Every structure is written in structure tokens, then in C-alpha cells.
């Protein structure tokens, strides 16, 4: 079927994400400094540089690429984002077929969200990356039901993730160290939701290439 995603897509996704996270490093540091410990930009940049360094361009399946990237993030990041994104990518990899069609893509994104929630125990509305992942999965599901290609499923997911990240501005943090700020966390966009939006945009960009 046209537009199926392969290992080459997964490799391109990780490379693009590393580039974007390097460029957005200062933005993420500033967002995290406002309501967290300020290390998210550095941690994500460091983690994805390590992912790129460990990429196997000859990997046969998306599963290999994503699982290996997940393990790298868990072992290199050192903040909450490591176990969260690491578990997300490892679960995504487990759900991925050799060639990912739109149906399988929805399963892959759902598995990533489930991984994030299993690890972080956050719900929608807690002002975390779940507030980007969850609308992304819902938008992907709807796009797929409408017969979209994998590329368009990813575009829908990325766009919903970005809107979800923006919506965290109005939320009160209920997870992580930002929750100690209570109402004072309102008015700031969540750094984890923001990095999720960047990463899903990279997934769409890699599929368009």
C-alpha cells in the first residue's frame, strides 16, 4: 500500500527530532525554568544526540529503530523525560509492524501514549506531555477512520499535539515538581507537552520526505 512507513522513516524521524530538539533547546530550558528544574532542553538535546549516535541506518524494521532509541533515552537522559519518552518509544516499537500502514500507525501512537501513562501515571488535564500525546492519538484515530494516509495521520496527530501543548498554558500542574507551584503554574506552557509536539511534527516531516 502506498505511503507505508518503514525503518527508513523511523531513522529519519529520530534524526529530524534530534535536529529540532537541538534548535529548541533554549526554548525548552526557558519553559522548564518557569515551572520545573530547567533541565528539559538540555536533557532532550543530550538524549536525542545519543539516539542519533546509536542509530543503525541499516536496521530492518521500525521496531528495531524505535526500541533501540527508547533504550538509549532511558539510559542517557537522567530526568523524568528519559523514562517517559524511552518507555513511549519502546512500546511504540513493540506495536510497530515491518511496514506501518495507517491502522498500525494508530496502534503505534496509542502504545506510546500508554507507555507514557504507565510510567508517569498522569491523566489528561494534569499539565504534562499526556496533554499533547492524548489529543494526538485521538486525532490520528479520527484521521484513520476518515481513510487518511499514514502521512496525513501523522500530520493530524502533530497538529493536535501542538494545540494540546498550547492548551497546557491554562492548566494547573498536578504532576511532577511543577505541581508544587499549584495555581502559580497557570500561564506557562508545559515543557514536556511542548517537546512532544516537536517530536510528533518530526514524525510527520520524516514521512513527507
Partner 1 sequence: MSVGLVICSHSAKLAEGVAELAGQMAKAVTIVPAGGTGDGRIGTSVELVSAAVEKLLDEGLDVAVLTDLGSATMTVESVIEALGPDRAAHVRHAEGPLVEGAVAASVAAQIGGDLTAVALAAQAKELFA
Q: Which residues bind partner 1 (CB under 8 A)?
A: 37, 39, 43, 74-75, 77-80, 82-84, 86-87, 119-120, 175-177
Q: Which is nearer to partner 1, 117 or 149 (CB)?
A: 117
Q: CA-CA distance, 11 to 20, in Å (whole number)?
A: 14
List, in sequence order, every beta strand (DSSP E) within 77-203: none
Q: Which is nearer to partner 1, 120 or 164 (CB)?
A: 120
- The distance of closest approach from Cβ of residue 208 to partner 1 in the complex, given in angstroms and rounded to an integer, is 33
Structural element, H or E, at residue 35: helix 25-35
- The distance of closest approach from Cβ of residue 201 to partner 1 in the complex, given in angstroms and rounded to an integer, is 25
- The distance of closest approach from Cβ of residue 77 to partner 1 in the complex, given in angstroms and rounded to an integer, is 8
- The distance of closest approach from Cβ of residue 93 to partner 1 in the complex, given in angstroms and rounded to an integer, is 15
**Are 21 and 77 in contact, with CB atoms under 8 Å apart?**
no
- Nearest one of 13, 138, 19 to 70, comparing CA atoms: 13
- The distance of closest approach from Cβ of residue 47 to partner 1 in the complex, given in angstroms and rounded to an integer, is 11
Whole-number Cα distances in Å, 60 to 18, 53, 104, 186, 207: 21, 18, 17, 45, 17
Q: Which is nearer to partner 1, 74 or 95 (CB)?
A: 74
Q: Which is nearer to partner 1, 73 or 148 (CB)?
A: 73
Burial of 14 (0-12, 13-18, 19+ CB in 10 A): buried
**Are 117 and 126 in contact, with CB atoms under 8 Å apart?**
no
- The distance of closest approach from Cβ of residue 120 to partner 1 in the complex, given in angstroms and rounded to an integer, is 7
Q: Which is nearer to partner 1, 43 or 144 (CB)?
A: 43
Angle at 142 between CA 139 and CA 144, to 5 degrees: 110
Q: Which is nearer to partner 1, 177 or 184 (CB)?
A: 177
Q: CA-CA distance, 87 to 67, in Å (whole number)?
A: 9
Amino acid at each position: 500500500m502506498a505511503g507505508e512507513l518503514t525503518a527508513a522513516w523511523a531513522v529519519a524521524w529520530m534524526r529530524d527530532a534530534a535536529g529540532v530538539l537541538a534548535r529548541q533547546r533554549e526554548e525548552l530550558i526557558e519553559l522548564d525554568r518557569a515551572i520545573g528544574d530547567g533541565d528539559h532542553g538540555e536533557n532532550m538535546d543530550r538524549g536525542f544526540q545519543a539516539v542519533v549516535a546509536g542509530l543503525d541506518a541499516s536496521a530492518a524494521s521500525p521496531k528495531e529503530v524505535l526500541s533501540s532509541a527508547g533504550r538509549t533515552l532511558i539510559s542517557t537522559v537522567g530526568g523524568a523525560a528519559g523514562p517517559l519518552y524511552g518507555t513511549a518509544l519502546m512500546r511504540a516499537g513493540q506495536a510497530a509492524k515491518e511496514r506501518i500502514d495507517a491502522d498500525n500507525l494508530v496502534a503505534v501512537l496509542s502504545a506510546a501514549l500508554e507507555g507514557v501513562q504507565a510510567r508517569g501515571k498522569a491523566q489528561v488535564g494534569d499539565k504534562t506531555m499526556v496533554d499533547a500525546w492524548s489529543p494526538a492519538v485521538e486525532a490520528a484515530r479520527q484521521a484513520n477512520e476518515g481513510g487518511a494516509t499514514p502521512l496525513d495521520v501523522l500530520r493530524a496527530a502533530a497538529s493536535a499535539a501542538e494545540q494540546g501543548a498550547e492548551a497546557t498554558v491554562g492548566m494547573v500542574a498536578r504532576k511532577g515538581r511543577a505541581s508544587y507551584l499549584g495555581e502559580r503554574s497557570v500561564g506557562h506552557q508545559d515543557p514536556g507537552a511542548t517537546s512532544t509536539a516537536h517530536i510528533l511534527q518530526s514524525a510527520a516531516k520524516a514521512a513527507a520526505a
